[in-house]
Structure 1
Amino acid sequence: MNERFLSLPEEKRQRIINAGYRVFSQNSYKKSPVGEIASEAGISKSLLFYYFRNKKELYLFLWDEACRVTLEALREERCYDPDSLFEMMERGLNAKVKIMHRYPELTAFVMKAFYEKDPEVSACIQESYAGYIQQKAGVSLSMLNPEEFRPEIDLQMMLNEMYWATEGYLWEKVQSGTLEVESLEQEFHKMMDFWKVVYLKEGE
């Protein structure tokens, strides 16, 4: 990574990062204007290219930074610690909310980047994601206590359904431009309340 950028004051770095997340999350990679990122960050386009050699380097840095920030938040919220399913999900939601307060467009950027088709960056993103998913905290079948759930429940299918519902919700919000911290918290708590009724044994 370019040491020139890392040597900047934190506030200035965050301003550039947030500008990049916003512009890239609202456009395809090819149609994202670098000049708009620089203008929003309060710097010149030439200065932005002083920190990053080109658009691709900036884009991939923003992706790597999103992964780093996410893993750090997950660790801080103890999302790797085994617990009951919904306690782990609650901690994961807390991590997501903290990230969105500091980087409002990071989640939208990550969703957009994951589905980006431009060959200049898509292969790099998918390769990075394959490695990142190995580190990311997630609920696995081995972490669950079957005694918490209704006996007829297929636990792996349950986890798959929760993952698909979560990803679908985020993608829909990104596409409509309505992904906000408050609505995310409210909607995810509603989903978790629903899943508790559907999957947990009575009284759990």
Structure 2
Amino acid sequence: MYENFIGLKEEKRDIIINSALMEFAKKGYDLASTNEMVKAAGISKGALFHYFASKKALFLFLCEYVFGVVSREFYEQIGHCGGDLLARYRRAAMLKGAVYQRYPPMFEFIKRLTVEKSSEIAAELKEQLEKMTDYGYQCLLGNLDTSLFRQDVPADKIRDLTIWALENYGNRSLKLTGDQRAEDIDMEALSFDFDQYLDVLRKCFYKQ
């Protein structure tokens, strides 16, 4: 569907992608301007619409592109640390920080997706987000080593309580850093704070 765009030289393609990501991230779907995107990318509007039939097509391509990067460089790397649930969450946090620092426009775009309200792309975005969430849980929770957990508490309860705690921690962190650019976030401080909570969960739910 996007053969003409995919066939561009990588440098030019990345400039267009990053320009579009930042415009959507700053203003949301409805207010994002393709005029601003082409100005930032240094291309004509005709060229943009040669690659993408509409603003909606461009937005949905960016969703697929972002989710592809997140899958390849984040989700698919989580399980490499074995079946320890807390170790996986820690690895996930480290990978997320690395991805965000490597692709700042993508980080801003993802943050905007979580609050995007446009009715024009609501159905497609909901489907994409659900697909990625389901895939993420498969990577995070598949083949867990529950023998690490305390034996006097059901393993599924430990798993669920851990997920709820760490997802709420992640939501809190996202709110605290919501107005900051990716490059301005103190990843080292966030990592230290996160490790302290992981230690508490390990003491509560793991064999000592």
Give the equivalent residue in structure 1 for 2:122. Answer: 122
* 1:189 pairs with 2:188: no
Contact 1:86 1:192 in 2 (8 A): no
* 1:139 pairs with 2:121: no
1:185–1:51 CA distance, 2 compared to 1 (3 A): farther
1:166 Cα deviation from its structure 2 partner = 0.7
Give the equivalent residue in structure 1 for 2:22. Answer: 22
Write the distance in 1 (CA, Å) between the matches of 2:173 and 2:185.
14
Q: What is the Cα-based RMSD across aligned positions, in Å?
A: 2.7
Q: Residues 7-57 of structure 1: CA distance to partner in whole angstroms, max 9, x if unpaired?
A: 001111111111111111111211111111111122122211111111101
Write the distance in 1 (CA, Å) between the matches of 2:203 and 2:121.
46
2:201 to 182, 194, 199: 199
Amino acid at match of 1:125: L
Contact 1:16 1:38 in 2 (8 A): yes
Which ranges in structure 2 are unaligned for 5 or more consecutive residues?
A: none
Write the distance in 1 (CA, Å) between the matches of 2:180 and 2:46.
30
Give the equivalent residue in structure 2 for 1:53. Answer: 53
Give the equivalent residue in structure 1 for 2:168. Answer: 164
Write the distance in 1 (CA, Å) between the matches of 2:75 and 2:182.
24
Amino acid at match of 2:146: N
Sequence identity percentage: 24
TM-score normalised to structure 2 length? 0.82
Contact 2:86 2:198 in 1 (8 A): no
Which ranges in structure 1 are unaligned for 5 or more consecutive residues?
A: none
Contact 2:28 2:116 in 1 (8 A): yes
Contact 1:150 1:201 in 2 (8 A): no
How many residue pairs get aligned? The number is 201
* SS at 2:131 equivalent: helix
1:151 Cα deviation from its structure 2 partner = 6.1
Greater RCO (Cα-Cα under 8 Å, separation 6 or more): 2
Write the distance in 2 (CA, Å) between the matches of 1:43 and 1:138.
39
* SS at 1:116 equivalent: coil
Write the distance in 2 (CA, Å) between the matches of 1:21 and 1:168.
24
Contact 2:108 2:182 in 1 (8 A): yes
Give the equivalent residue in structure 2 for 1:90. Answer: 90
Amino acid at match of 1:140: L
Instruction: After superposing the two structures, state which structure 1 stretch, 137-146 or 110-119, moved more.
Output: 137-146
Write the distance in 1 (CA, Å) between the matches of 2:48 and 2:175.
29
Write the distance in 2 (CA, Å) between the matches of 1:171 and 1:20.
24
1:11–1:130 CA distance, 2 compared to 1 (3 A): same
Instruction: After superposing the two structures, state which structure 1 stretch, 130-139 or 38-47, moved more.
Output: 130-139
Instruction: After superposing the two structures, state which structure 1 stretch, 48-57 or 140-149, moved more.
Output: 140-149
Contact 2:100 2:182 in 1 (8 A): no
